[in-house]
Amino acid sequence: MIRRLFKGDKVVWIVFLFLCLISIVEVFSASGILTYKTGDYWGPIAQHARYMLLGVAAVMVVHKLPCKWFRFVPALLWPSSFVLLILAMFWGEKVNDAGRWLSFMGWTIQPSEFAKLALVSSIALILSKTQEEEGTSRNTFKYILMVSLPLCLLIAPENFSTAAMLLGITILMMYVGRVPFRQWGRMVGFGMLLVGFLGIVAWKIPNDVLDKVPMMHRVTTWKNRVVDFMDDKKVAPAEYDIFNEDAQVGHARIAIATTPIWGKGPGNSVERDFLSQAFSDFIYAIVIEELGLLGGGFLAFLYIILLLRAGRIAQRSEKKYYSFLVMGLALLLVSQALVNMMVAVGLFPVTGQPLPLISKGGTSTVITCLYIGMILGISREVEEQKDKAHEAALDEELSNEEEQVQETGTQIINVN
């Protein structure tokens, strides 16, 4: 019964289970500041648990669906994401000075999360349709830019880190899909020059002027984050307001620096009371503080295992679209996790990227579970294909043995 209920790659299921358990424990521990603000002790974790249960239900349903249905995802989700991003740009709700959310019938959704799945699935479909013996066709690079640039440009004004990460995933998928380096290499070089030029211009323009320019109000925040990261200053909690962005970096470093190798134990974090985003952007620092370096390393190891298993599933799949889709989803999850962890330990500027399946969230949690469901669904089909091939081989072997027996019997009769 368990095998019929949980189909697909067993290692991916185990990784998913561990991530869900760690998420419940750490979000419950890190939501103290939300409990203080709302006065509801169980409210924050109850909300997160509902989203986690909804995500688990999505995994259970999606991984049982016929994988051929995944081919319709780009056609349905890409136009929808494009429209939602435009709506969010003009009518999105402001959260942390960024209009990234839309309210619909009592639900708050984050269009960029849908755009991630739309982009990865679209690129996977393009790569699968344009494969040739020595690589991809000439038009592959053009088609990929046509689906990636519009979404990234709509995301960038409010969430530059997400847009940059999606462009990075696009480049990685083109590399995996054997798109000629001379094509995407030139794009990378031009993009670096363009970003450098725009960065210099933005650096020279005063912040009060940038705040008045349409679609440029977030540039000041990006500049401050880069300056803080480059200065690498030691942030003391007493020197900053607890809601100051610098204070979050300082308290995250204190959480990591003061923990023993085995951690302080679940629920015993001290810095969660000073980190306003302890349950989201800086939850990895809380994980290390409570579970120690061993727990933090184990969590990073889970994402590595997920990527390795996805690579194995992609390698064993007979259909190219499934292979590229699995790799794209895994690269997206692991890249986002890597950015979040690097921010928490002070190796990357603050970006606001949540830790997949660990951070408290709504849309991001459910959509991430959809990624896992699709990976498991493809692994289920790969296993079914393997079983069918094995059964066919056994049937053929049995048929050959029967033919040999019949030939032997015929020869004996003829001799007699």
Task: Say if 283 falls within a structural domain.
Answer: yes
Let me know if residue 329 belongs to a domain. Answer: yes
Which strand (E) or helix (H) includes residue 159?
none
Residue 212, pLDDT > 70, answer no
Burial class of residue 321 (count of CB atoms within 10 Å of its CB; 0-12, 13-18, 19+): buried
Quick check: 237 pLDDT over 50? no
Residue 1 exposure: Cα atoms within 13 Å on the Cβ side: 0
208 Cβ neighbours under 8 A, 6+ residues apart: none
Selection from 193, 160, 76, 87 nearest residue 125 by Cα: 76
Q: Who contacts 53 (Cβ-Cβ below 8 Å, separation ≥6)?
A: none
Mean pLDDT score, 263-290: 84
| Of 99-113, 123-137, 196-210, minimum mean pLDDT range | 196-210
Are the C-beta atoms of residues 136 and 178 closer than 8 Å to each other? yes
pTM: 0.87
Q: How many domains does the chain have?
A: 1
Kindly give the interhelix angle for 111-129 and 320-344, rounded to the nearest 10 degrees: 140
Q: Using pLDDT thresholds of 50, 70 and 90, give the confidence band for residue 396.
A: low
Tell me whether residue 293 is in a domain.
yes
* Residue 396 within a domain: no
Position 173 scores a pLDDT of 92
* Domain-located, residue 159: yes
Q: Please check whether residue 63 is in contact with residue 377, taking contact to mean a CB–CB distance below 8 angstroms.
A: yes
Q: What is residue 348's DSSP assignment? A: S
Alpha carbons 413 and 286: distance in angstroms, whole number:
81
For residue 319, give the DSSP letter.
S
3-state class (DSSP) for residue 24: helix
Does some domain include residue 388? Answer: no
Cα Rg of the chain (Å, integer): 25
> Band of the pLDDT at 242, cuts 50, 70, 90?
very low
Which of 92-106, 164-178, 251-265 is predicted least confidently? 92-106
Q: What's residue 386's pLDDT?
A: 77
Alpha helices in 102-180 (DSSP H): 111-129, 140-155, 160-176
Q: Tell me the residue range of the domain where 197 lies.
A: 2-383
Query: CB–CB of 297/328 below 8 Å?
Result: no
| Count of C-beta atoms within a 10 Å radius of residue 192 | 10
Question: Which pair of tokens denotes residue 218?
Answer: 């977030």
- Please measure the distance between the N-terminal and C-terminal CA atoms of the chain and give it in whole angstroms: 55
- Give SS3 for 357: coil
* Domain contains 60: yes
* Greater model confidence, 70 or 101: 70
CA–CA separation, 28 vs 31, rounded Å?
6
Calculate the CA 212 to chain-centre distance: 33
Which of 234, 205, 232, 235 has the alpha carbon at shortest distance from 220? 205
The answer to whether residue 416 is domain-embedded is no
Q: How far apart are CA 171 and CA 365, in angstroms?
A: 25
